[in-house]
Amino acid sequence: MEENTKNQIYVIGHKNPDTDSICSAIAYAYLKNQTDDGEFVPKRAGSISTETQYVLNRFQIETPGYVPNVKTKVSDMEIRHTEGVKKSISLKNAWTILNETKGTTLPIVTDDNMLEGLISIGDIARSYMAVIDSAILSKAHTQYKNILETLDGTLYVGDEEAYFDKGKVVVAASSPEVMESYIEPNDMVILGNRYETQLCAIEMNAGCIILCGDAKVTKTIQILGREKNCTIIATPYDTYTVAHLINQSMPISYFMKAEDLILFHEDDFTDDIKDIMASKRHRDFPILDKKEQYVGTISRRNLLGIKKRRLILVDHNEATQAVDHIEDAQILEIIDHHRLGSLETVMPVFFRNQPVGCTATIIYQMFVEKGIEIPSHIAGLLCAAIISDTLLFRSPTCTSVDCDAARYLAQLAGIDCEKFALEMFEAGSNMKSKTAEQIFFQDFKVYEVEKMSVGVAQISCMAKTDLDIAKSKLKEYLKKARKEQGLNMLFFMLTDIMSETTELLCEGDGAERTAKEAFGVEVEEGSVILPNVISRKKQLIPSLLSKLQK
């Protein structure tokens, strides 16, 4: 089944998500689904690392779906789910449906719901007002079933599944002698209760006769009709009414628009379609799903009431770190443990920011505060996030609150913190199998300061050999990355967890000078060793940005 996203609320972390960003999104979505109305769904704004994948596999959690941006889509609009019709139905039937549904356009679909065409009220009106061709009924290949339905008729001779596809429609209101001058073989003849005119029409090889005003159809006429292969229909309407209604029995396939249809898909962005909709006179536009099947229709007025994608942000509050087009979304909540960033909201939001080592610690507190039991798999995710973000409690950002939370969560998850940390870090430290790009984007963030864009990426490994491999792959790639990301400066932290030391790689004009001034050390060939520096948030970023802000 297709995912219905219109009423969902996404819980999502930053781009290039780390373990905390992913695990906190999953855990907080779980908590919100236990306590609040709505459907809360964890999502991710980038690829996950091997460390995070190890954690998800360990606790048998499905990877959150990828959201490249939060621009509104057609699926976010109020789609009018007008049921499709078959192309064989009559104009009268189509008109009735449009009146009952108060619609302006009917989609025409196949048995497997593929769109074949459209017919509008205007199309039906034009077919009725503009047609003066007496042979139009046969040209439209009209089924007798439609004629019977339109005239409330009774079939005495013939097959209702057959088609009137030859001849013209004539009204026989004169004597048999005069009728012989204008009735031709295969014609459809509308006549009254006179036996001799009925007999004359059949003898003239009419394809069909329609007897009006509840005219009696004698046995003789029926026998003769069968012999001459003439369809015989009786209707309660008078001749004038039948002549007025008969064209309404034509199938809509003859008048529907089937070429150059302007249609959209559920995944189309509204920004991409609104100009097209504004430039066309159509009132309704059909919508298809991923399988190219018809879903419904939208109109220009639906653009006015479109609902923005609703989000809860975890582990960030910087616009540069958020999912693309965050300005087009409605932010409901922010749960974070970083400095206050550049993100702005139109409406007030619930914002919880605490000086702890990990967002997962805050979410753990919220479970406790709300009295919600933490399942073992959610406890495992939260514990893994804390261990990852605090580098197994070695980071200066780590607090006693983080340590206590992690120890308790470990018990719920049935894991040993130290043993699990070793396995998790080793899973994320396999640099041999990763490309420079994969290493770079494993944990990369952008900060805006003094009209400058500064990028800071970090990897943390248990073994120095992994860091050496990463450095060799990154040496040339950093120049390319800085240019592609549009950065003024770029710093990469190669953090050795065991020795609690970081080698900082510097790229960009002024990057080496900034690092030297921030830490009071010499930078050689774009690299500097920073003992006892392992935290980007608490140790590196404040020092760098304070120098750039002067």
- Residue 412 sits in the same domain as residue 453: no
Q: Is residue 172 part of a domain?
A: yes
Which stretches of 315-355 are DSSP H helices?
none
Q: 4 pLDDT exceeds 80? A: no
Are 243 and 237 a contacting pair, CB within 8 Å? no
User: Dihedral of CA 180/182/185/187: which sign?
Assistant: negative
What CATH number does the domain containing 174 carry?
Answer: 3.40.1390.20
Q: 479 pLDDT exceeds 80? A: yes
Q: Is residue 1 part of a domain?
A: no
pLDDT tens digits for range 243-285: 999 999 999 999 999 988 999 999 999 888 988 888 887 788 9
What CATH number does the domain containing 67 carry?
Answer: 3.90.1640.10
- Residue 123 sits in the same domain as residue 263: yes
Last residue of a domain, one of 282, 304, 326: 304
Region 489-501: mean pLDDT is 94
How many other C-beta atoms lie within 10 A of the C-beta of residue 132?
6
Sheet with 169-171: list strands edge to edge.
154-157, 231-234, 208-211, 188-191, 169-171
Q: 6 pLDDT exceeds 80? A: no
pLDDT tens digits for range 20-78: 999 999 999 999 999 999 999 999 999 999 999 999 999 999 999 999 999 988 988 88
Q: Is residue 2 part of a domain?
A: no
Residue 145 corresponds to which tokens in the numbers above?
Answer: 């079933």
Instruction: Quote the pLDDT of residue 5.
Output: 65
What secondary structure letter does DSSP report for 430? -
- Residue 299 sits in the same domain as residue 200: no
Instruction: Quote the pLDDT of residue 131.
Output: 64
**Residue 270: which residues within 8 A CB-CB, separation 6 or more?**
71, 72, 73, 74, 76, 77, 303, 306
How many other C-beta atoms lie within 10 A of the C-beta of residue 27?
29
Q: 7 pLDDT exceeds 60? A: yes
Are 252 and 138 a contacting pair, CB within 8 Å? no
pLDDT tens digits for range 126-136: 877 766 788 99
Domain containing residue 532 = 436-548
The pTM of the full predicted model, rounded to 2 decimals, is 0.70
- Tell me the CA end-to-end span of the chain in Å, nearest whole number: 56
- Residue 285 sits in the same domain as residue 314: no
Region 215-222: mean pLDDT is 92
- Residue 414 sits in the same domain as residue 467: no
Q: How far apart are alpha carbons 425 and 421 in whole angstroms?
A: 6
Instruction: Quote the pLDDT of residue 25.
Output: 98
- Backbone angles phi and psi of 525, in degrees to 5: 55, 40
CA diameter of the chain? 118
pLDDT-derived band at 2 (thresholds 50, 70, 90) equals very low
- Residue 159 sits in the same domain as residue 269: no
Percent of the chain clearing pLDDT 70 (strictly above): 98
- Residue 149 sits in the same domain as residue 212: yes
pLDDT tens digits for range 516-536: 999 999 999 999 999 999 999
Last residue of a domain, one of 203, 223, 249: 249
Tell me the pLDDT of the chain averaged across its residues.
Answer: 92
What CATH number does the domain containing 507 carry?
Answer: 3.10.310.20
Instruction: Quote the pLDDT of residue 433.
Output: 85
Last residue of a domain, one of 212, 230, 249: 249
Exposed / middle / buried, residue 312 (Cβ in 10 Å: 0-12, 13-18, 19+)? buried
Q: 87 pLDDT exceeds 80? A: yes
- Residue 280 sits in the same domain as residue 201: no
- Residue 124 sits in the same domain as residue 265: yes
pLDDT tens digits for range 353-393: 999 999 999 999 999 999 999 999 999 999 999 999 999 99
* Total number of domains constituting the chain: 4
Instruction: Quote the pLDDT of residue 182.
Output: 87
What CATH number does the domain containing 270 carry?
Answer: 3.10.580.10
pLDDT tens digits for range 110-154: 999 999 999 988 888 887 776 678 899 999 999 999 999 999 999
To the nearest 10°, report the CA torsion of 243, 244, 245, 249. Answer: 70
Q: Is residue 486 part of a domain?
A: yes
Q: 489 pLDDT exceeds 90? A: yes
- Residue 199 sits in the same domain as residue 300: no
How many other C-beta atoms lie within 10 A of the C-beta of residue 269?
16
Residue 543 to residues 145, 240, 338, 357, 533, Cα–Cα distance (Å) = 83, 93, 15, 18, 11
- Residue 178 sits in the same domain as residue 224: yes
Are 455 and 490 a contacting pair, CB within 8 Å? yes
User: Dihedral of CA 346/348/352/355: which sign?
Assistant: positive
pLDDT tens digits for range 224-253: 999 999 999 999 999 999 999 999 999 999
Q: How much of the chain is in helix, strand and coil states, percent to nearest 5?
A: 40, 20, 40
pLDDT tens digits for range 290-343: 999 999 999 888 877 788 899 999 999 999 999 999 998 999 999 999 989 888
